[in-house]
Amino acid sequence: GDSVTQMEGPVTLSEEAFLTINCTYTATGYPSLFWYVQYPGEGLQLLLKATKADDKGSNKGFEATYRKETTSFHLEKGSVQVSDSAVYFCALRGLTGGGNKLTFGTGTQLKVEL
């Protein structure tokens, strides 16, 4: 079945540092890929998405590129801020067995310090 693997957290960075959160996936065909962000005590918000190979999703300074050859969708940001502290979830929308289902990774907590 479909699965998503994310790097374990927490990831602790100083403000203005470069961020990478790794995400790899297993799925049949060409799934759509997503990054969601969850701030403390809240629901998830869509951060960015990519629907086909080599697409780059971007939003609020965050970027991720859909790499079919490495089955990866790593999240990057050039300069993080304290306000970026949250939990980040990588997810895929598969094409098999209930095609509307999102499969989520376990989430990576990011802490940004001054």
Residues that bind another protein (CB under 8 A): 4, 32, 34, 36, 41-46, 49, 51, 89, 93, 98, 100-102, 104-107
Structure tokens given for 42: 């809240």
SS3 49: strand
Name residue 5's amino acid: T
Query: Cβ closer to another protein: 19 or 107?
Result: 107
How near is the Cβ of 87 to another protein at its closest, in Å?
10
Write the DSSP assignment of 52-106 as a string of letters.
STT-EEEETTEEEE-BTTTTB--EEESS--GGG-EEEEEEEE-SSSSTT-EEE--
How near is the Cβ of 96 to another protein at its closest, in Å?
14
How near is the Cβ of 93 to another protein at its closest, in Å?
5
Query: Cβ closer to another protein: 70 or 99?
Result: 99
